[in-house]
A and B are shown apart, each in its own frame.
Chain A
Amino acid sequence: MITIALNLAIAMVTLAALLNVYRLIKGPDEPDRVLAIDTLYINAIALIILLGITLGTRMYLESALLIAVMGFVSTVAMAKYLKRGSVIE
């Protein structure tokens, strides 16, 4: 049963990532694109966790943590760039 649920979850998260890519391409403004990337990295974390359960290993959690930290910092940097025109003042 877990296998079926796992495959369903992977399918749904992948579909979600595709929808994010649609928003990333369509825009129409820069904040929309940044928001799409922000959601995309959170979906990537979900996919990594699902992959970890599928393979029965917890090795990938470290990379999920790294993506979480880096994704947040890059979102903040991009938002700040859009607002001020520079990242570090």
Chain B
Amino acid sequence: MQLREPSRRVSPRARLMWATTAALEAVLLVAVVAVAGPVSGWLPLPWWLVVLLGVVAAAYVVVMPVWRYRVHRWEVTDTAVYTQTGWWVRERRIAPMSRIQTVDHGEGAVARLFGLATVTVTTASAAGALEIVGLERDGALALAEQLAVRADTVPGDAT
């Protein structure tokens, strides 16, 4: 018995968003190691190690967003929310509509540059939050609205 993938992909621009975030992090890390290390002398690394680190970071910036975009999917049915996230570690999460406690719409600084948003659905369990990253902003607002209405119509205290 197998689960199928959730039916909907996130916005293709999410790749750019992830790449931008990763590139910022990579540049910062390499800069710290390459500049701060030799200048202050607290991190004496040979030059080839710094170059190696740069290559690994560049590979991460190129590969991770593409891989992540292929994995990230989501689906909302009448009774449940189903997401698939991650890249190296892949995680599928299913939450019944009747157990949804909060629906959260968030836009990070980088996400705003690309007109994207994140919808987070939480249940009463700390281990069960579902996050859909990289949705088109308008679509995300509509989805959050729709989920909140549907979760409201199901009775119970969601525990």
The yes or no verdict on A and B being binding partners is: no
Which residues does A use to contact B, with CB under 8 Å? none
